[in-house]
Chain A
Amino acid sequence: MEMHAGAAAGKSPEERVALVGTPNVGKSVLFGLLTGTYATVSNYPGTTVEVTRGNAAVHGRRLVCIDTPGINSIVPMSEDEQVTRDILLAERPVTVVQVGDSKNLVRALLITLQLAEMELPLILDLNMEDEARDRGILIDTQALGRALGIEVISTVAPERKGLGELRRALASRAAAVPSAAVRYHKVIEDYAGRIAALLPPAAGPARALALMALSRDETLGPRLRCALDAAAVETIERLRGECERAFARPVGTAIHEARLRKARELAEAATTRVAASPYPIMRTLGAACMHPVWGACILAAVLLGLYGFVGVLGAGVLVDFAEDAVFNGYVNPFFTRAAELLVPTQFLRDMLVGPYGVITMALTYALAIILPITAAFFLAFGVLEDTGYLPRLAVMADRFFRLMGLSGKAVLPMVLGLGCGTMAVMTTRVLETRRDRLIATFLLALAVPCAAQLGVIMGMLGGLSLTAFAIWIGCLGAVLLLAGRLAALIVPGERTGFILEIPPFRLPSAGNVLLKTGHRVVWYLREAAPLFVYGTLALFLLDKAGLLDTLKEALAPVITDFLGLPREATAAFLVGFLRRDYGAAGLHALRDQGMLDPVQTMVSLLTLTLFVPCLAHFLMMIKERGLRPAVCMFVIIAVLAVAAGGALNWTLRALAIPLG
């Protein structure tokens, strides 16, 4: 970690405001409203896994706002939670805005009390006041504010309700450090005092750190070691051991219980309960999504809906229209004519509008094939995200993921992988152990196609038959299961238990879904289009230099002999290294030209689905997991993809299954 105590405090004059709180309480919505910058908002815990910063001006005061990953306790349980704790310790923001869930006041106050121990100037924002009111929970913010000794505000972030008050609180004077404190058992207080006395002032809030040390916070070790000499660290270890023996009960549990008592006391005094409004439809629907029978039906309906919307509408109707009518009908002929008239040399003309032309290949693929599919997918996906369906899917899929040595929690990164593998690799941070993160990263790279690729695949298989589709799904599932099982055996460590908070089922807001889709599509094109152009240029130069034929010749034993594909497919796989969706678009074009028979379509699609992760994805794997594991995965995946493709080729040809 680059954050050492005190290092950040001196160097920058900017005033920082950190938004912290439990996962999924609306921090990112508030961040967006305060700064005007967009941060991804979704209805599942763990949307924000990285720190986002943005500038906010409130009534003339310039602030740097920090959106942090959600935490359930100041003692971190996973990588993303640790980021938040480190920000609080290292950056010492001028104000911390704790966003709490009004309908879960005790949980919010548990964190408030820990922030108070860290002596942080605090504003408590109780968000989701609407949902609390629906459940008959009314909170007296004034009384709670007096009891805590800080300003307490209530908001409904998506409706901007209470936002004015929050801005006023941020603009006015410096926020207060809460005066409410927890009294622990005298043995704990005694040892906390003795440990605190050993800590230099620069290390941060001594009492809070001492309590963390007593709760056996292992992540604290490195921090203490860089602020203290070895002898002092040893003394702290010794004191902790002594305290545990003297107390005869797990100290961490006792500390938690004392906080819980205080939080309950505070919450009780500030809460009034009235009759809940009868509005159980969303709750019933939310429960049905996890029901063993209804849940399966809903899952089938969701998959069918996705297939219809993305596969049939997006990859079928929209792509046909854009590719055939728009690009092949108008755009490409227009540019071809224009090039003939305006561009002097054949070389440059080919570069723009030839078979490997920037316009006829790169732009056509990006805008006519990839754009409609990704837009359709992100739209559908945004709706799913905002209802809160994904954590419920995790419940449904837990058993399947157990077979691969993972827990249902890994569903989130895997499903996000359908949107973009690169982002999904980052989301594996929500998993608790290194083992789980490794396996999830591997499976993501191997068997989760991104939306654009998936759309193309659906479109092409849709043209064949249901049997073809079933075979493709079956093969993919088998590879996923087999590879997962093997990975679980090889990677050392225990499977972690599945523990996941399920947010309320909500009606998605059209505004957020459209905004999110727009952001994602733009981001996607920015990411993809340049690589499409570079890839095309590389192919074009290889072709002109005569190297493409050499490469096709060299790879013929694999592509034509083993996989039974036409030589032209080589180019698709070559650009697949750059981006898998580009490779998929290449196969789509080949099929349109009638160069792939049904078996070849199946084999090429399966191979490309399993094919090595694209460049950006691979770089992210190196960044998150390290060079060696990433390279190992790359090699294993390349071998697996070709082997599976070959096996399918020989099986299909031997059995002569009618495909369409």
Chain B
Amino acid sequence: MRYDVTLQRCGLSAVFDLKGAADALRNWAGDMLPPLPDHPNTRTGGGGVELYHIGRKHWLARAPLAQEEVLEAQLKPDACPAEISIVRVSDTLSFFRITGPDASQVMAIACPLDLHETVFGADAVTYSELFGLKALVLRCEGGFECAVEQSFGDMVEDYLTLSCRQKPV
């Protein structure tokens, strides 16, 4: 029997890697970005841009791929002050969506995180593993979104497809 999930390969998003002290980032890009999430492994959003707090002094800004050039023009990675770093990394991450009633069952096969909603809430986002590969994991409407290094995209799609097939009876 198959798990009751929908697996969707979403491909690339516009993603910018932001590093530095929160105040320095706010000074440079505060107007173009949603408020910086304060708590580790949480996110904020606004104006079509989402901000993920994925490490100490480390954030990802994500938007639909169509917004990439606009966002780059606003963030001006080439001109930013030396105490912060802004790097376009859109090409490095391939995104997947796993949604439906059994989404958490399939995620439990792929990922060692405790994804119960009391632990991994609606605004949670973190780097973890998917089939042993470093992966970004977050909640989305009706399930989970994950992203892996894009060169692993085909392989992870195969793994996820196989995982969806093998519901124990």
Q: Do A and B come from one complex?
A: no
**Chain B: residues with CB nearer than 8 A to chain A?**
none
Residues of A within 8 A of B (CB): none
